[in-house]
Amino acid sequence: MKPRVLVLSGCGINCERETAHAFSLPAVGGEAVCVHLNDLIAQPDRLDGFHIMVIPGGFAFGDDISAGIVLATRLRYRLDRPLSRFLGDGKLLLGICNGFQVLVRLGVLPAAKGQKWDQEATLTTNDSGKFEDRWVYLQIDPACPSPFVQGIDRLYLPVRHGEGKFLTRDDDVLRALQANHQIAARYIGPDGDAAPYPWNPNGSVDDVAAVCDPSGRVFGLMPHPEAYTHRTHHPRWTRESLPEEGQGVAIFRNAVHFARTHL
């Protein structure tokens, strides 16, 4: 069985093709379909036929007002029932960069206190005050419950965002995330230690780069795994000996493997 992946498209989302390609790689084994937001709103029951839903990176609705909020509002008020059913069935929901911003503003991430649709965090303007386009090192929490990061220790991936600073609503939410191992990945320096800017490119609290909900099945990250699926995507591919497979592939393979064995 090839798990089916719905990759949301349209309205300013601009990484849907790379994301669909990553899920459809032979080494991953998914069957990805790009579905326009308006088509999904017109036929919401289509979501039932998929095992994984992805909100890719981009600038949905031009990031008007703030990043991701317009798309989050449309999803909340036009697709709340099919999304609730999708999540209730234990299926996988992934948000990358702008998609991560959407899931946080939608309130399905981080859900540290178990309340869906309650916004407990935000992703706001980078401390640098500018758009950050650079490669970063990530340390995965080995105790994180998310299937997306199982078996992964570290990653090297690109970021490209202007609003990537993760902040929790209060200290209680942050402590809950830490205690529940919901901080899936943190920014680190090249030597593996916690490091300031530019290794933490946005100033996120506790160096947060990725979080999941308590079940691990809803997952969001600011870096772009779909942008490193082949060695030629690496910024030093002409100068370093690298494996053919880019490090981002592991995240997509994990998701498809989980869907194939659990859904």
Amino acid at 252: F
233 is catalytic: no
Question: Is 226 a residue of the active site?
Answer: yes
Q: Which own/partner contact pairs does 242-249 have at CB distance under 8 Å and 24+ positions apart? A: 245/27, 247/155, 247/156, 247/157, 248/22, 248/155, 248/157, 248/224, 249/22, 249/25, 249/27, 249/28, 249/225
Nearest to 203 by CA among 103, 136, 128: 128
Handedness of CA 82, 185, 33, 256 (dihedral sign): negative
The answer to whether 40 and 79 are in contact (CB under 8 A) is yes
Torsion of CA 233, 221, 213, 117, to 10 degrees: -130
- Report residue 239 as tokens: 């100068």
Choosing from 51, 161, 212, 224, which is the catalytic residue? 224
State the catalytic residue, choosing from 51, 226, 233, 234: 226
Which one from 15, 97, 144, 212 is the annotated catalytic residue? 97
Q: Do 209 and 222 form a contact (C-beta atoms < 8 A)?
A: yes
Residue 2 DSSP SS3: coil
Cβ pair 207, 220 in contact under 8 A = no
96, exposed or middle or buried, with CB in 10 Å at 0-12, 13-18, 19+?
Answer: buried
Q: Who contacts 16 (Cβ-Cβ below 8 Å, separation ≥6)?
A: 7, 8, 9, 34, 56, 58
- Is residue 97 part of the annotated active site? The answer reads yes
Rounded to the nearest 10°, the torsion over CA 145, 148, 154, 160 is -120
**Active-site residue set:** 97, 224, 226
